[in-house]
Chain A
Amino acid sequence: MAEQNGIIQLKNIDVTFHSEGKTIEAVKDVSINVNKGDVFGVIGYSGAGKSTLVRVINLLQKPTSGTVVVNDQNLTQLSAKDLRKARRNIGMIFQHFNLMNSLTVYGNVDFPLRDSGLSKAERKQKIDKLLDIVGLADRAKNYPSQLSGGQKQRVAIARALANDPEILISDEATSALDPKTTTEILDLLGRLNKELGITIVIITHEMDAIKQVCNRVAVMENGQLIEEGSLLTIFGNPKKQLTKDFVNTSTHIGSVLDEIRDSGIVDKLSGRLIELNYIGDSTNEPIVVELYKRFKVEANILFSNIERLQNTTVGIMLFALTGEDDKVEAAIEYLNSLNVNVKEISLKKEGE
């Protein structure tokens, strides 16, 4: 567990709904500590409780139990008025943008500023600047219905930034957008984090979105937080099955494994299938060469995926090791001694 002095501290949060005689435990005993400057990703399948959890951060959702400390303020103890004030420090964007259809782009960004005490001219200056940041300076007079999804989300981001929040919450903000637009919006969020120092909490069900901007990740399943860590540890060394599934989907290794099994290629090579994960600089070639030099074991690379996450290389490789049995054993031991994760993969299909 990380040190408990973050800008967002959720402690032992439970959220239970009672609807139509049924009790739904949407969030179960979740604790999260988000540090200032983090881009914190929460990933999980639909219904895992992600939205419910992040809505607790600004108390749009009151937790059944647990404490919510944001910026050293215990939000659950604030008066309604003080809570509203605290909420101004927490911007929020949504999957369906939630813009006012009756207001122009300009009006939507002005919406949160109307109680800011700024003069009309000051507001205009601020709105122009915000629209410039999100790249919509030329659309000020348009209505939301005249914009594309990506543009609407940019307006929503400008609106969320209007009160200069230190925290921005994004609840599936890119789920309704195409891949290219998704990348652009995530880039924008990353820029806001770097240039304005805003702490961001991103909810998503796509590992690719997490990979692109987050430095820390929490995985949720059935209301519980099952795994949490830096992007690199989650990606390079996932522990729980669900986390592995997300990582595998994102590296495409899952479908590759199916293909390898179907093709029988490993058997043809009369080898053993090995998966190798590594973080940091460790390149394919030397390993393959080493294995041959040291053990006379051939390593046929069947798949390799290398990504740069936060300026660090994260690699995953599948290869078939062919050689005499004891030599292959020794080779695997050698691999284990390196700074990599080694795992032998069964050639049977899952469930067989």
Chain B
Amino acid sequence: MADLVNKFLPNVVANWEGDNGFVVAIWQTLYMTFVSAFFAGIFGIVLGILLVVTADDGITPNKALYTFLDKLVNLFRSIPFIILLAVIGPFTRLIVGQTIGPTGALVPLVIGTAPFFARQVQLALVEVDHGVIEAAEAIGLSPMKIIFRVYLREGLPELIRSGTLTIISLIGLTAMAGAVGGGGLGNMAISVGYQRFENDVTIVSMLLILVLVFVIQGLGDFAVRKLEH
């Protein structure tokens, strides 16, 4: 077995440990993915909820705020991620003190993902049966309680579905951010595998990313199945 690995994946073995090795790269990818998913998740949920409740047929309509948020989300969704990375460099430095490395990638990842997720959250929550919202209003629930007890509760399976989708697309973004200085498996595949013609490194990087995607998809599907009645 060890012989086989050495024979077919020589560069992977050579690049397994060490500061620029696979083990570190895997951790960097996980770190970028989950830390930015956490923050993008919070921003996305808050924005998505605001979009739903301030809409014309929402529970607290507010045309000005809705229009502003709607435009803001559209604007940031329109900027290609790779350009976003460059454009917000100074802002990134201001927040996390550095523009390279996994931590430097966090800010653009969050900004690139949050608007996308906000739309997903909005779509998930407007799907919540309007009649149920009305029933909750008739019962005398405040808007805040309607958000937490009805929207987030009834929309949970759909939210998890969009959360899964968002994390998977976020993994794609971490690879892109990695390639331009963020580290992680994307960086591994490009700056080691591709540029040094070490094809086995590229392929293993890709396989590891796929494994991550499948695990997350599987967990998401499992949670949705558990929650749906």
- Which residue from B131, B140, B153, B229 sits with its C-beta under 8 Å from A84? B140
B83 at interface by CB-CB < 8 Å: no
Interface size range on A against B: 20 to 34
Residues of A within 8 A of B138 (CB): 58, 60, 87, 90-92
Residue of B whose beta carbon sits closest to that of A89 = B140
A145 at interface by CB-CB < 8 Å: yes
Residue of A whose beta carbon sits closest to that of B142 = A84
Residues of A within 8 A of B142 (CB): 80-81, 84
Residue of A whose beta carbon sits closest to that of B133 = A98
**One of A9-17, A99-107, A284-292 at the interface:** A99-107
| B139 x A143 contact (CB < 8 A) | no
| B140 x A96 contact (CB < 8 A) | no
**How far apart sit A96 and B130, CA to CA, in the bound complex (Å)?**
11
Contact with B along A139-150 (1 / 0, CB 8 A): 000011110000
**How far apart sit A92 and B136, CA to CA, in the bound complex (Å)?**
10
Interface class of chain B by DSSP: helix
Contact with A along B124-158 (1 / 0, CB 8 A): 00000101101111111110010001100110100
Most buried by A among B134, B137, B140, B142: B140
Chain B contributes a number of interface residues (CB within 8 A of A) equal to 20
- Which residue from A87, A100, A145 sits with its C-beta under 8 Å from B154? A100
A50 at interface by CB-CB < 8 Å: no
**How far apart sit A97 and B131, CA to CA, in the bound complex (Å)?**
8
A88 at interface by CB-CB < 8 Å: yes
In the complex, how many angstroms separate the beta carbon of B41 from the nearest chain A beta carbon?
A: 20
A278 at interface by CB-CB < 8 Å: no
**How far apart sit A111 and B137, CA to CA, in the bound complex (Å)?**
12
Most buried by B among A98, A102, A143, A156: A102
| A98 x B229 contact (CB < 8 A) | no
| B154 x A60 contact (CB < 8 A) | no
> Given A101-B229, A102-B227, A143-B229: A88 and B140 within 8 A (CB)?
yes
**How far apart sit A99 and B135, CA to CA, in the bound complex (Å)?**
8
A85 at interface by CB-CB < 8 Å: yes
Residues of B within 8 A of A87 (CB): 137-140
| B132 x A84 contact (CB < 8 A) | no
| A100 x B132 contact (CB < 8 A) | yes
A-B residue pairs, 10 tightest by C-beta: A98-B131, A143-B229, A87-B140, A98-B135, A84-B140, A92-B138, A112-B139, A88-B140, A98-B132, A102-B153
- Can you list 16 A-B contacts (CB < 8 A)? A88-B140, A92-B138, A94-B135, A98-B129, A98-B131, A98-B132, A98-B135, A100-B132, A101-B154, A102-B153, A111-B149, A112-B139, A112-B140, A143-B229, A163-B139, A163-B140
Question: B residues engaging A (CB < 8 A)?
Answer: 129, 131-132, 134-142, 145, 149-150, 153-154, 156, 227, 229
